[in-house]
Amino acid sequence: MTDPHVLFDAWLEEAKAGEPNDPTAMALASVDAGGRPSARMVLLKGHDERGFVFYTNIESRKADELAGNAHAALLFHWKSIRRQVRVEGVVEPVSDEEADAYFATRARDSQLGAWASDQSRPLASRHIFEQRFADQEERFQGRDVPRPPFWSGYRVVPARIEFWTSRDHRLHERRLFLRHEQSWQEGLLYP
């Protein structure tokens, strides 16, 4: 039996070698309280047997939607290597220690940007955002930038992972892994 996490790691390495534009980019789909779906691109910042991790402002639209319905879907599309991976599961917050450790690796301007942005909220002008960024530069001048209390990460704990490979004449290959308690069941789907 193939371990889907090991297979994902191998595919991601191939994507890093063959995908020219951000192989860690993934579409994240969530739903609001009314059941209306929303999707946006986020970056994969960690992956292991526990799940797939991304970071964001926890007061953003996506975070609000995940707070109301912790089910989400991810989609990696690596057009250059003719593959995609679909992940569905429940979302859980990462620990403060994980969030702090990742935040510390971010570029300083990205750290400052996290403090300056009211992500997903209306913005009257670009100038206001640029001024807020400048204010944060001044605030943290000469010292480390701590992780904002409103910024953290989420882990999508997969219940379902599908590996899709493009084949000629639309005879694609679809490998499906379903979590059953602590193990995975593997099967195929018609294209």
Q: What is the pLDDT of residues 104-150, one digit of tens each?
A: 999 999 999 999 999 999 999 999 999 999 999 999 999 999 999 99
Q: What is the pLDDT of residues 26-56, one digit of tens each?
A: 999 999 999 999 999 999 999 999 999 999 9
Rounded mean pLDDT of 158-170?
Answer: 96
Residue 134, token pair as written in the block: 């400048």
Query: Residue by residue, what is the 3-state secondary structure of the chain?
Result: CCCHHHHHHHHHHHHHHHCCCCCCEEEEEEECCCCCEEEEEEECCEEECCEEEEEEECCCHHHHHHHHCCEEEEEEEEHHHCEEEEEEEEEEECCHHHHHHHHHHCCHHHHHHHHHCCCCCCCCCHHHHHHHHHHHHHHCCCCCCCCCCCEEEEEEEEEEEEEEECCHHHCCEEEEEEEECCEEEEEEECC
Q: CATH for 4-106+150-189, among 3.30.70.120, 2.30.110.10, 3.30.465.10, 3.40.50.2300?
A: 2.30.110.10
Between the alpha carbon of residue 4 and those of residues 1, 143, 181, the distances in Å are 9, 42, 15
126 assigned to active site: no
Give yes or no for a contact between 136 and 79, defined as CB atoms under 8 angstroms apart.
no
Roughly what angle, to the nearest 10 degrees, separates helices 126-139 and 108-116?
A: 120
Rounded mean pLDDT of 155-180?
Answer: 96
Q: What are the residue ranges spanned by the domains of the chain? A: 4-106+150-189
Cα 92 to Cα 51: distance, rounded to the nearest angstrom: 10
Catalytic residue among 170, 174, 175, 179: 170
Q: What is the pLDDT of residues 79-103, one digit of tens each?
A: 999 999 999 999 999 999 999 999 9
Is 1 a residue whose pLDDT tops 80? no
CB atoms within 10 A of CB 56: 22
Burial of 21: CB neighbours in 10 Å, binned 0-12, 13-18, 19+: exposed
